[in-house]
Amino acid sequence: MLNELRLPAIKTMWPQFSQRADKEGWPAARLLTTLAEHELAERHRRRIERHLAEARLLPGKTIDTFEFEAVPMVSKAHVMALAEGNEWLENANNLLLFGPPGGGKSHLASAIGLALVENGWRVLFARTTDLVQKLQIARRELTLQAALNRLDRFHLLILDDLAYVTKDQAETSVLFELIGARYERRSMLITANQPFGEWEKVFPDPAMTLAAVDRLVHHATIFEMNVESYRRRQAIDKKQGPGRPPKYATAAKTNPD
């Protein structure tokens, strides 16, 4: 009967708890509550496992392993609040991370995505070029709208390295359609090496650039991570050898707004 009801956790645990209930004289309500709690906990665990598998996050990238001291313009408290997801994902707000290569944008994006999945949200992490190519194929096969609809099941879509999309009419048009489809409906987290002023390298005409930027920043939090490359800094520290203090770049002053 428990198989028919699809209650695998109760099926596994009920003999142990039933025996304990008989021994300790539990009332029926306590036994039933205990079994139900274990079933719900197991369902939650399995759901998180499924969502982690589908999220395709970068391995080993967590908030705990992010070097906040090397990126002083990013507040850990702010990131922890974003990791809860409640307000900004419910309101379909965006998060934009700008900065030179090696500054930790992808790490932070994936780490926030991981925390959100653990808090019950559905997330997809994708290199922008890879996702754009898949959407191009869908357009050629006349299934673009269906592909965009499938992306709707994710509360947050992380587009990593947006600036590497080639300035091609077909690629940028599907990217623009994706941004438009999620505008004020679902959240996006975008990492990019170039600030908005250089996005004409991504979109083929100024009007499309302006429209894309307008949709992304309308409800957005922006982190400008203008720091020295992690990889370059680690290479220098390794070359200098042990016993030397790490050299972090001085953060450029940014407008607190």
pLDDT of residue 252 exceeding 80: no
Say whether pLDDT at 40 is over 90: yes
Predicted TM-score (pTM) of the model is: 0.81
Lowest mean pLDDT segment, chosen from 47-51, 63-67, 189-193, 238-242: 238-242
Give the pLDDT band (50/70/90) at residue 246: very low
Please write the tens of the pLDDT for every residue from 206-221.
888 889 899 999 999 9
Does 17 score more than 50 pLDDT? yes
Residue 240, pLDDT score: 55
| Residues 6+ positions from 218 with CB-CB distance below 8 Å | 183, 184
User: Once rounded to an integer, what is the mean pLDDT over residues 159-177?
Assistant: 79
pLDDT, average across residues 78-94? 94
